Amino acid sequence: MHMRERRITRNLERLGGARELEMDYRLMQRIKILGVASVKVNNLHGYGHLEEIMVRRADQQLYTFKEGDFVDLHLNDIEDMLLLAAQHKLFKLNKSDIFYLVVTLLLAPSQSALFLTSHFSPFFIPKDFYTNLVDIPG
């Protein structure tokens, strides 16, 4: 069992017999992300701040991840969204929203575990993909 899953299981047991919540959590992390439906970005003083990601999973339901939930994203969820960006399959988002999404996912606290435990690497994303998204002064 993954260390994060053990921590969540302990917390659920401490809350008192919330067995179905644990099953929902495990089911949630196994459902593949098919696409990113929308991204909410707050632009302030020239800096973008990602507040919310809404994704469509394989069960055709929309799931929303708020800013505080980014830390709890499963590694498979991060990998699925980065692969969608690398394959240019984020049709509903504009270029700046895609840029902020990719930067947020790459800077997630679990990124080191992602790159160490899977075959995904940021080098799969072509250089022209992220250099042409926003005009960077300098």
Residues 5-53 pLDDT 10s: 666 666 666 665 545 544 455 545 578 888 999 999 888 877 777 888 8
Q: Of all residues in the chain, what percent carry a pLDDT higher than 70?
A: 57
Read off the DSSP letter of residue 31. Answer: S
**pLDDT for 78:** 84
Reported for 60-67, long-range contacts at CB under 8 A and 24+ positions apart, including other chains, are 62/37, 63/28
What's the token pair of residue 64? 């929303």
- Residue 4 pLDDT > 50, yes or no? yes
Lowest-confidence region among 46-55, 81-90, 126-135: 126-135
Residue 54: how many CA atoms within 13 Å on its side-chain side?
10
Q: Is the pTM of this model over 0.85?
A: no
